[in-house]
Amino acid sequence: MIVVRYLLLVAAIVLILAGCKSPIQNDIVLSNREESLVKVNAYSLRQLNQIQGLGLTILHTAVIANDIQIAKALINRKVNLDVKTSSINNSGLTALHIAVQSENPEMVKLLLSAGADHEIKFKDLSALDFAKISQNNEVIELLINKNN
C-alpha cells in the first residue's frame, strides 16, 4: 500500500519535473485548467484514451492531480474509464485505483457514478481491497454500496 502511494507521488513529481511528454498532462499538473479544458474538448477520443507520458492516460493524470473538473470533462467526452497504466513500476492501475489510493472520495464517487469498473484488480487487489488497507471508511462505503 505504501509502495503504491509512493509510486503515485513519484509519478506526480516526475510529471512536473519532466515537463511531461504530453502538453495536456503538463497543463493538468500545473493547474492550467482553462488550457486543459480547451485541449480536452479539442482532442479526439482516441487521443484522450491514449497512454501518454509515464504510462498514464489524461484521466489518470487528472485523478493524480485531484482535478475533478478535468475528470468530469473527460467523462463527458466518454473516455474509457478502465484503461490501465502501462509503466514499468505500476502497470495495471485504473483511474479508480488511483482515486482510492489518493483517498479522494469525491473522485471515487465521480468515477463510480460514471461507470468505472470497481472489480478490476491490480496485483490481486480490487479498489475495495485498497480502500480497506488504507482504512478510508467513506471510500469503503462508496465501493460496498456499488457492489449492492
- Please give the residue that has the higher pLDDT: either 86 or 48: 48
Instruction: Report the pLDDT value the prediction gives residue 134, as an integer from 0 to 100.
Output: 87
Instruction: Write out pLDDT tens, residues 98-120.
Output: 999 888 999 999 999 999 999 99
Strand partners, 98: none
- Please report the domains of the chain, with CATH numbers, ordered by start residue: 2-147 (1.25.40.20)
Confirm whether pTM is higher than 0.75. Answer: yes
The stretch 82-92 carries a mean pLDDT of 81
Q: Is the pLDDT of residue 81 over 50?
A: yes
Q: How far apart are CA 110 and CA 62, in angstroms?
A: 12
Q: How many CB atoms lie within 10 A of CB 88?
A: 7
- The count of residues in the chain is 148
Instruction: Report the pLDDT value the prediction gives residue 17, as an integer from 0 to 100.
Output: 42
Instruction: Write out pLDDT tens, residues 11-47.
Output: 665 554 454 568 888 888 888 899 999 999 999 999 9
